[in-house]
A = this chain, B = another copy of it.
Amino acid sequence: MSDVRPPTLDTVAEAAGVSRATVSRVVNGTARVSPRVHAQVENAIAELGYVPNRAARNLVNRRTDSIALVLREPDATVLADPYLGSMIIAISRALADTTFQLVLVNARNDSKHGTLADYVRGGHFDGVLLASMHTDDPLPGVLVGSHVPTVVSGRPEHPIPGLLFVDSDNVGGGRLATEHLVSLGRRRIATIAGPPDMTATPDRLAGFRAALADAALPEGPVAAGDFTHPSGERAMAELLDRAPELDAVFAGNDMMAAGALRTLRARGRRVPDDVAVVGYDDIDLAHHTEPALTTVRQPVDDAARTMVDLLIGQINGEPGGESVVLPNELVKRDSA
């Protein structure tokens, strides 16, 4: 309600005794300006506390200088997984050194103005980062079709021409976890898989099976979970019923691994003595379970930085961006 308007380019120009164009030039460093004039302008800017008006700038430049982070999680269950939170923080950090703002778009499909797809396509953002994608989600296709620079986290089920993604090597991760169990001498290895509509699930499963095959071990039983703690408890119970003699479990994420741990304890199985357990993600919780979880760590910070770099490259029209698959790492603790 204060009616004092912030200084504009013209204000500064007048104060410095030059034209608006010149001030613009020094603000943007876009052309040479004589040292004397440059100093005058700088002084005027400092004195008036001038800050460029973003809207005006965006209008003429046809850029918004902001990128959307779309979280595709209709149900709160998966939001409980701190992995997503760490992703958000990592992306925000990766963006901190750029001029881009991070806009969080919490997307239950069409909450905002009309469809989410329309909203995102509506030129509100220079680019879009998609996290926690499901295989049947049409959004990435729509965005690419609308020429909106887009990078998704996690390999899409079907490659979409022009869609870049950053993923961690889930096949390798599944293999890493399973090979570790094998190296421990375990022979009856089961797995708790994640939701089938995220590619991480089949990928980790593929790594699991490949490692088993390499070790000439029979394919262990598979139970399905949905990345939540309770689903891990249930899946473990199911596994125990189906294969009471199992001596190891590879869980599709740490949350489910924690659930499995609880079921194992309830059933009187000691971990890792009777049953070894390996999780996935290395979320904070992995330190706190009893026993502490051996798990596969994903390079969240690297992934975030890579996504941001790829996206900005696309926004700037640089050629040659390529999807990236980052390696994972086994973190050995006490559960296996």
Contact = CB atoms under 8 A, between A and B. Distances in A.
Interface stretch (A96-104, A184-192, A218-226, A321-329): A96-104
Which of the four size classes fits the interface of chain A? 35 or more
Contact of A64 (B55, B88, B95, B265): B55
Interface string A104-146: 1110100111000010011110000000000000000000000
Interface stretch (A32-40, A236-244, A285-293): A285-293
Contact of A92 (B2, B6, B104, B284): B104
Contacts of A317: 1
Interface stretch (A78-86, A159-167, A207-215, A272-280): A78-86
A158 interface: no
A22 to B, nearest CB: 21
Given A51-B122, A64-B54, A288-B258, A113 B99 contact: yes
A45 B6 CA distance: 35
B104 A2 contact: no
Contacts of A108: 96
A262 to B, nearest CB: 7
Contacts of A216: none
Contact of A55 (B55, B265, B285): B55
A88 B59 contact: no
A31 interface: no
A54 B124 contact: yes
A59 B51 contact: no
Given A59-B59, A288-B258, A104 B88 contact: yes
Contacts of A85: 82, 84-86, 88-89
A146 to B, nearest CB: 10
A258 B288 CA distance: 7
Nearest to A58: B55
A93 B106 contact: yes
A104 B106 contact: no
A290 B97 CA distance: 41
A53 interface: yes
Interface in A51-80: 51-56, 58-59, 64, 66, 69, 71, 79-80
Given A96-B106, A103-B101, A82 B79 contact: no
A118 B59 contact: no
A152 to B, nearest CB: 19
A101 to B, nearest CB: 5
Interface of A: 1-2, 6, 49, 51-56, 58-59, 64, 66, 69, 71, 79-80, 82, 84-86, 88-89, 92-93, 95-97, 99, 101-106, 108, 111-113, 118, 121-124, 147, 229, 258, 262, 265, 284-285, 287-290, 317
For the complex of A and B, 9 pairs with smallest distance between CB atoms: A85-B85, A51-B122, A55-B58, A92-B106, A55-B59, A96-B111, A102-B104, A82-B82, A290-B290
Given A262-B288, A285-B285, 9 more contacts: A58-B58, A69-B104, A82-B284, A85-B88, A92-B104, A99-B113, A102-B106, A229-B288, A285-B288
